[in-house]
A and B are shown apart, each in its own frame.
Chain A
Amino acid sequence: MTARHGEETAFDHLLRELAPHVLGAVMRRFRDFAAAEDAVQEALLAAALQWPLEGAPGNPLGWLIQVASRRMLDRIRSESARRNRESEVALEAATAAGSPAAGAAPEQDDTLLLLFMCCHPSLTPASAIALTLRAVGGLTTLEIARAFLVPEATMAQRISRAKQTIKSSGIPFQMPDSGERAHRLLSVLHVLYLIFNEGYTSSGGSGLVRDDLSNEAIRLARIVHRLQPDDTEAAGLLALMLLTDARRQARTDAGGELIPLADQNRELWDQQQIAEGVALLSATLPKGAVGPYQLQAAIAAVHDEAARSADTDWPQILALYDLLKRMSGNPMAALNHAIAAAMVHGPQKGLALLDGLAADPRLSSHYRLDAVRAHLLEMAGDRAGAVRHYRAAAAGTANLPERNYLTMRAARLSSGSG
Chain B
Amino acid sequence: MKYILMMNTMKAGHGVPEWPQKDLQAHVAYMKSLHKELSDSGELVSAEGLSFPDQARLVRAGKDAAPITDGVFPEGKEFLAGFWIVDVETPERAYAVAAKASAAPGPGGAPLNMPIEVRPVMSGPPPEML
Q: Which residues of A contact B (CB under 8 A)?
A: 124-127, 148-151, 153-161, 197-198, 200-201, 203-204, 240, 244, 296, 324, 330, 332-333, 336, 368, 397-400, 402-403
Q: Which residues of B contact A (CB under 8 A)?
A: 1-2, 39-46, 87, 89, 120-130
- Chain B interface helix/strand/loop/mixed: loop
Instruction: Tell me how far the C-beta of A252 lies from the nearest C-beta in chain B, rounded to whole angstroms.
Output: 12
**Contacting residue for B122 out of A155, A160, A333, A398, CB 8 A:** A398
Closest to A332 in B: B130
Interchain CB contact under 8 A, A203 and B126: yes
CA distance A149 to B44 in the complex (A): 11
Q: 4 shortest A-B CB distances, which residue pairs?
A: A398-B124, A158-B42, A201-B126, A157-B42
Interchain CB contact under 8 A, B87 and A150: yes
26 residue pairs A–B, Cβ–Cβ below 8 Å? A124-B89, A125-B89, A126-B87, A148-B87, A151-B44, A153-B39, A155-B42, A156-B42, A157-B40, A158-B42, A200-B126, A200-B129, A203-B123, A203-B124, A203-B126, A204-B122, A296-B129, A296-B130, A336-B130, A397-B124, A397-B127, A398-B1, A398-B120, A398-B121, A398-B122, A398-B125
CA distance A127 to B42 in the complex (A): 9
| Chain B positions within 8 Å of A157 at CB level | 39-42
Interchain CB contact under 8 A, B123 and A400: yes
CA distance A158 to B38 in the complex (A): 11
**Contacting residue for B125 out of A148, A336, A399, A400, CB 8 A:** A399
14 extra interchain contacts, Cβ-Cβ under 8 A, other than A203-B126, A204-B123, A397-B127? A149-B45, A150-B45, A154-B45, A154-B87, A155-B42, A156-B42, A157-B42, A158-B42, A161-B41, A197-B129, A296-B130, A398-B121, A399-B126, A403-B122
| Chain B positions within 8 Å of A125 at CB level | 89
Closest to A403 in B: B122
CA distance A157 to B44 in the complex (A): 10
CA distance A355 to B42 in the complex (A): 41
| Chain A positions within 8 Å of B124 at CB level | 203, 397-399
Closest to B120 in A: A398
Take A154-B87, A157-B40, A157-B42 as given contacts and tell me if A149 and B128 are in contact as well, using a CB distance cutoff of 8 Å.
no
CA distance A332 to B125 in the complex (A): 14
Interchain CB contact under 8 A, B120 and A402: no
Interchain CB contact under 8 A, A399 and B127: yes
| Chain B positions within 8 Å of A336 at CB level | 130
| Chain B positions within 8 Å of A402 at CB level | 127
**Contacting residue for A198 out of B89, B121, B122, B126, CB 8 A:** B126
Instruction: Tell me how far the C-beta of B105 lies from the nearest C-beta in chain A, rounded to whole angstroms.
Output: 26
Interchain CB contact under 8 A, B129 and A333: no
CA distance A160 to B41 in the complex (A): 9
Instruction: Tell me how far the C-beta of B37 lies from the nearest C-beta in chain A, rounded to whole angstroms.
Output: 11
Interchain CB contact under 8 A, B128 and A332: yes
CA distance A368 to B41 in the complex (A): 31
Closest to A371 in B: B127
| Chain A positions within 8 Å of B123 at CB level | 149, 203-204, 398-400
CA distance A153 to B121 in the complex (A): 20
CA distance A148 to B123 in the complex (A): 10
Instruction: Tell me how far the C-beta of A181 lies from the nearest C-beta in chain B, rounded to whole angstroms.
Output: 26
